[in-house]
A and B are shown apart, each in its own frame.
Chain A
Amino acid sequence: MYKSTGFISFFLRRFTGVALVLYLFLHMWVIGSIMQGVEVFDARMEFLQGPVFKVMEVALLAAVVYHAFDGLRLLLVNWFNIADYRKSMFYAVFAISALLTIVGGVPIIMVAIQGH
């Protein structure tokens, strides 16, 4: 195993990518249910209000933010030919993703706990 920031970024990129594809199926399962009537849709939405899904929502946010910013990092490195900054940019992407996950995740958890 060749350990490097490049490997960590690749692993996270692939992991979040696969997770987002799987999420898409879950999303279609919920949204598509409106075709079967409002009751079915409401039942599925109710099912997704549990605490486990709230935590997964925060994880989804983390995955989206990391995947997007890491992709942006690769675009910038390739476009401007700045491979010398690849590691510092990876740390920056990680920090930005963590910050945005906290900023977006805290309200989700707070609403889940307080119920409004």
Chain B
Amino acid sequence: MTQTINVRIQRFNPDVDRKPHFQEFPLEAEQGMTVLDALHKIKTEVDGSVTYRRSCRHAICGSCAMHVNGANTLVCNKPLSEAIDGKGQVTIQPLPYLPIIKDLVVDRSSFWEQYERVRPWLIPNGVTTDKEFRVSQEEVKALQDAEKCIMCGACYSSCQVIAMNKRYIGPHALLKAFLRVMDPRDAAPRERLEDLAGGDGVYRCHTIFNCIDACPKNLNPTAAIETLRKLVIRRIAFEDERKARQAKLLEPTE
């Protein structure tokens, strides 16, 4: 079953255009197509100059986050049938609030800078043990699936605070900081929380919830930020608890 639809793509060529404009492409939508399939079809059959990022096509790499019909999403797992609006058209724009490089490709430099700023890697306690560090079920549950984040930038570019202030750490990096702070293997939660306590940190969030709306993995950065806010206040006690937890690992077992 096919249906003729209208795909509106925001175009911008920095060499020619002064500002972005829309171009419409009629398309025979087939059953089972995704929005990315539609973009591929247009690029291969109609206009090869249409520019976008994509890689894995399985909602894992996070390259293809775009603004479809007014909402951020991964175009690779967005069914075209769900994206068609009442007028029989699909509007595809680049992620908002970020500088456009060309067409649907945006400059994510600020996104990665903020990511590096929170030191997204694990800081070990320097003690080598002769067995694995066993994390309890409760400790895994407390991470709230934050490890499932694929760094697509959908939350970052939906954030109204980011729109106004690029120095804000952003929901993606705060979620990653949350993951590391809550990780019982991490040895520097106090240091991390002190970095997040500043004016660009957790208190800059205005609880707008756009990040939850935008996340294609159904994660909840707002709840993570709220947890960090509570931990920032009791960071010294939290580090002591962490040390006690890690010391327990080294105790001999029967």
User: Which residues of chain A have a CB within 8 Å of any CB of chain B?
Assistant: 1-7, 9-10, 13, 74, 77-78, 81, 83, 86
- Which residue from A1, A6, A10, A13 sits with its C-beta under 8 Å from B213? A6
Known: A2-B72, A7-B210, A86-B209; 16 extra A-B contacts, CB below 8 A, are A1-B96, A2-B67, A2-B70, A2-B97, A2-B157, A4-B71, A4-B158, A6-B160, A6-B208, A6-B209, A6-B210, A9-B208, A10-B206, A77-B207, A78-B226, A83-B209
- Which residue from A2, A74, A78, A83 sits with its C-beta under 8 Å from B160? A2
User: Which residues of chain B have a CB within 8 Å of any CB of chain A?
Assistant: 67, 70-72, 96-97, 157-158, 160, 163, 206-210, 212-214, 220, 222-223, 226
- Which residue from B70, B157, B207, B226 sits with its C-beta under 8 Å from A3? B70
Are the CB atoms of B226 and A10 closer together than 8 Å?
Answer: no
Complex contacts, B222 vs chain A, CB 8 Å: 78, 83
Are the CB atoms of B158 and A2 closer together than 8 Å?
Answer: yes
What is the predominant secondary structure among interface residues of chain A facing chain B?
A: helix
Complex contacts, B214 vs chain A, CB 8 Å: 2
Are the CB atoms of A78 and B207 closer together than 8 Å?
Answer: yes
Closest 8 CB pairs of A and B: A6-B208, A6-B209, A10-B208, A78-B226, A2-B158, A6-B210, A74-B207, A86-B209
A77 to B226, CA, bound (A): 10
In angstroms, how far is the closest chain B Cβ from the Cβ of A113? 39
Complex contacts, A86 vs chain B, CB 8 Å: 209, 212
